[in-house]
Amino acid sequence: MIEISKNNKTLSKIEDTNMKVQKIMERNDLQEYIVNSWDVFTNEIGLPNIYYIGKEIIPHDSVKDRIDILAFDPNDSKMVIIELKRDKEKTHLIQTISYAGLINTWSFNDILSKLQNPDDEVIEYFKNNDKDFGIKIFLIAEYFDPEIILAADWLKTKHNLNIYAYRIQFFTIDQKLLIDINQIYPLKELSDAYEARKRKQMEQEISTPKRTWNDIKNKIEYPFGKDAIDYLINKYGQGDSGRSRFVTTLSKDDVNDIIISFRYKYINIYTWVNNKEEGKNKIKSIFGDDFVVNEWQEGLSFNIYSEDDYIKLRNWFNI
């Protein structure tokens, strides 16, 4: 990493370091940094608004191993396995695949029993969704052997297993310790092929929810949400009340195919965009420069907290 001095018109190297030098351990330190700064971390890896389940999760009574961090992405009904490694480890991928196989035997009741920070909205979601769930694997390490990436590519392209690899790098500047997290697999520029298949699957999903939109309306804390749900039902049909969302194929200003999810405290919007920077600029031009926009792997995500912003959204997309 290089620091720029605009005044002197020079470049200077920022000293790199590593977890071993800094005496940072996977579980006692890195794991705690992530869990204690959940929103910052999940935004950095492109998974904003996912549900945290817990750390040091035992995947099955027959094994002693523990999953470093486990989460759930309600947007595509997938468990998220996050495995951390200091330096590099050739068994990294094999370990997470074994966890995926064990998790695949779980029911939603099993997931409920694993929740370490119970939240009413999370509990309600799992109690009212008995659909099969998928699994995503996130490998996070300082270094990766080439065979790990090649194996991940084979599993992803040939067997449709959702695998992502992120490299973490540490730097020091002015006695401050910095961390940089970069996605090295799959390359972001090559993600479109995977995403087209995912989008089609989401549009074709058939839900048989246990809860109704009335159940959700009784839980949400923002008054305009009830009218918003009724309006979307009248215009687009029943949507997916089990996952409290509507999936649309709306497109405007290079922002495509939005998911409108009704969380208890806000409305969450997921979008696909052709260019993330242009998309951010467009969203901020509508909602204001201070409006928070997060990135996920193939687009942008933001939350609607006020009726004014909801009206802006409706006017923008002509919903």
- For 108-121, how does the pLDDT look when each residue is reduced to its tens digit (9 = 90+)? 888 889 999 888 88
Give the residue from 144, 142, 136, 141 showing the smallest Cα distance to 99: 136
User: What pLDDT is stored for residue 255 in this prediction?
Assistant: 83
The whole-angstrom separation of Cα 59 and Cα 4 is 46
The whole-angstrom separation of Cα 157 and Cα 194 is 8
Give the residue from 245, 232, 223 showing the smallest Cα distance to 306: 223
Radius of gyration of the chain (CA): 21
DSSP conformational letter for 27:
I
- 254 within 8 A of 273, measured Cβ to Cβ: yes
Using the structure block, give the residue that is written with the tokens 């300082």.
142
- For 213-261, how does the pLDDT look when each residue is reduced to its tens digit (9 = 90+)? 999 999 999 999 999 999 999 988 888 888 899 988 777 887 888 899 9
Quote the percentage of the chain above a pLDDT of 90.
Answer: 55
For the domain spanning 7-186, the CATH number is 3.40.1350.10
Provide the residue ranges of all domains of the chain, joining segments of one domain with +.
7-186, 203-317
Identity at 308, one-letter amino acid code: D
Q: What is the pTM for the complete model shown?
A: 0.78
The whole-angstrom separation of Cα 249 and Cα 26 is 42
Cβ contacts of residue 303 below 8 Å, gap of 6+?
Answer: 49, 263, 266, 267, 268, 269, 292
